[in-house]
Amino acid sequence: AKIPTYDALPAFKNFPGCAWSVWGSEDQLGTVNLLTDKVVKAAASEEIKLGRSVSLNWPLNFPEKPMFDRQTPQIDMKVREPQDLGVRDDEIHINTQSGTQWDGMRHFPLLEHGVFYNKFSSTRSTPLDSLPKGILPLPNPHQIDPAHARIGIQNWATHGICGRGVLLDLVSYQTSLSANKTLPYDPWSSHAITVPELEACAAAQGVKFRRGDILLVRVGFIKKYYDASQPERDGLQGLQGQETFAGIEQSEDMKRFLWNNHFAAIASDQPALERWPPPEGTLHLHQTILGLWGMPIGEFFDLEKLSRVCAETGRYTFFFSSWPLNMSPSPQTLNLQMSTS
C-alpha cells in the first residue's frame, strides 16, 4: 500500500509528520507493520548466505554505571527449599533501559500534549500535586490508564522485529576519510550526525534502502567504551541531563530521511539514538519517532563484531532478528511509580 511521504502526513498540533492515520486508530504496532510476511521472507531468502550468527546484545549490566540516574540491574538469588540444597530461582530487577534494548511506545509521549502513539493518553488520573513527595507506587493500580497496558512492548514482542538489517558503519566510513585515520568526532560529545553523512556512508558501502529495513547506525559509543579506562567509563554517569553523546541530529531533514525511507525500526550503539543533549529549543526525536510513528528505537546495540563481519564480507545487509522482552502489562503487574519531588 502507498504510504504518504513525511511532508504529506498531517500535523498534530505543533508536530508535523503524524502517522496515526496510516495503520488505523487502534493500531499498536506502528512501523513494525512494515515487516510483512513478504518483506521478512524476501529478507530471509536474499540475506541468509553464510549462516553465521552475530549477536548485537550488550550485557544488561552495561554501562556498569548507568546513565540518566538509572539503577544498576540487581539479581536476587532465591533459595527454593528450607534445607538449601542449592536450587535457586533468580529474580532480576532491571531498569528496562539497561543494556541492549528497544524503546517501546510507552517510553516517550508527545511531552506537552500528554499522548503516546495513536493518541493513547499518557496522563494519570491522580494529579501529581495531590500525592506525597518522593518515589512512590501509586496506591491503586486501577488509576493507571489502560493505554499504558495496550501499547506495551508485548505487541512487538509477539510480532518480532525481524527482516532485512542494514548497517551504516559511520565509524569505519569517517575514519577511512580522515587524514590521520582516526574518528573525526568524539562519540561521547554531543556531535550531530547529519543526513548527508548517513547517505554518503550508505553510498560508500553500496547500500540502497528498501521499505521495511531495520537500520543500525554505528556511531562509536560502544567502541569508545571498550577502549576506555574504568575511571573514564565511570565518568559517563552524569546527573540527569548532563550526559553527552553523539547521535543523529534533531532536524526536519532527519525526520524526512527516516520516514521517507520507510524503515521499520532504527537502532544504534549509543544510549538514545539521537545526539544528546538536543540543542536548546529543539524537540527530541523520540517524540516523533515513538509518539508519532510508533517506530522502535534500539539503544546500546553492540555493533562491533557486526562491523568486522561486514568489512570482511563487503556486505552491509543481513537478516536481522529480535524478540523484545515479552512482558504484558496488566493492572496487576503494572506498578506505576513516579517521582513527585
Residues within the interface to ligand UVW (CB under 6 A):
97, 103, 271-272, 284, 286, 299
Nearest of 198, 140, 209 to residue 173 by alpha carbon: 198
Q: How far apart are CA 188 and CA 236, in angstroms?
A: 8
137 strand-pairing partners = 337
| Least Cβ distance, residue 226 to ligand UVW (angstroms) | 20
| Least Cβ distance, residue 317 to ligand UVW (angstroms) | 26
- Of 43 and 272, the one with the shorter C-beta distance to ligand UVW is 272
**In the chain, alpha helices (H):** 37-47, 146-150, 154-159, 170-177, 195-205, 221-227, 230-234, 252-260, 285-286, 304-313
Q: Provide CB contacts within 8 A for 289, sequence distance 6+.
A: 258, 266, 273, 295, 297
- Of 276 and 319, the one with the shorter C-beta distance to ligand UVW is 276
| Least Cβ distance, residue 91 to ligand UVW (angstroms) | 24
- Of 173 and 300, the one with the shorter C-beta distance to ligand UVW is 300
Q: Which residue has the cell 557486526?
A: 306
CB 183: neighbour CB atoms within 10 A?
A: 19
| Least Cβ distance, residue 327 to ligand UVW (angstroms) | 17
Q: How far apart are CA 290 and CA 111, in angstroms?
A: 12
102 strand-pairing partners = 298
- Of 100 and 172, the one with the shorter C-beta distance to ligand UVW is 100
- Of 220 and 310, the one with the shorter C-beta distance to ligand UVW is 220
CB 223: neighbour CB atoms within 10 A?
A: 18
- Of 207 and 290, the one with the shorter C-beta distance to ligand UVW is 290
3 state SS of 297: strand
| Least Cβ distance, residue 19 to ligand UVW (angstroms) | 20
| Least Cβ distance, residue 290 to ligand UVW (angstroms) | 9
- Of 109 and 165, the one with the shorter C-beta distance to ligand UVW is 109
Cβ-in-10-Å burial (0-12, 13-18, 19+) of 122 comes to: buried
| Least Cβ distance, residue 192 to ligand UVW (angstroms) | 14
- The residue whose Cβ lies closest to ligand UVW is 272
86 strand-pairing partners = none
